Amino acid sequence: MLEHYKWLLAFHIIALMSWMAMLFYLPRLFVYHVEHAEKKEFVEVVKIQEYKIYKYIGLPAFWATLASGLGMIFFDSQLLSSGGWIYAKFTVLIALTLYSFSLEKYRLELANDTCTKSGKFFRAYNEVPTALAILIVGYVITKSFSWAFTLITLGIFAMIIDVILDGKKKP
């Protein structure tokens, strides 16, 4: 059983890496899309890329990550009693899932030319999965939950997003 679990864990990590690739890259495509809206031929190519990365890479990788994660819990139900870190991970996973589905909302708006968000917005929005990934990896590796780690991570990324959205230093 342990051998099967290790293979499932390996699959889970590979699926997660594929999902995260979409989460990191799709908002970058959104930046290019909105910042070059006047270049119709370019935008049409970007729309195809946005569709393919979400539908052919991101969505299947999300479901593979979820299924393999549930499989890991099935094979090792002790995970659920391993401390608060697992529930912190689940909480952040819910946020990452909502973020992932929000990308599809924005993708559809961009595909229909109804999106009103700016390139600055998508640059800042692109930082969200990095902060969430740092939290998940921190919880999983240390097998512990720390409010300090969580708040410092979120605080640093809130400052980065503020700088991106503001675009200038405050006096």
Tens of pLDDT, residues 42-99:
999 999 999 999 999 999 999 999 999 999 999 888 888 888 899 999 999 999 999 9
4 is in an annotated binding site: no
Closest CA to 102 of 122, 87, 88: 122
Please report the pLDDT score of residue 69 as a whole number. 95
Cα dist from 8 to 14, 15, 120, whole Å = 10, 10, 39
Please report the pLDDT score of residue 171 as a whole number. 47
89 is in an annotated binding site: yes
b/e code 39-52 from CB counts within 10 Å (16+ = b):
eeeebeebbeebee
Q: Which two tokens stand for residue 120?
A: 């600055």
Q: How far apart are CA 89 and CA 82, in angstroms?
A: 12
Tens of pLDDT, residues 91-140:
999 999 999 999 999 999 999 999 999 999 999 999 999 999 999 999 99
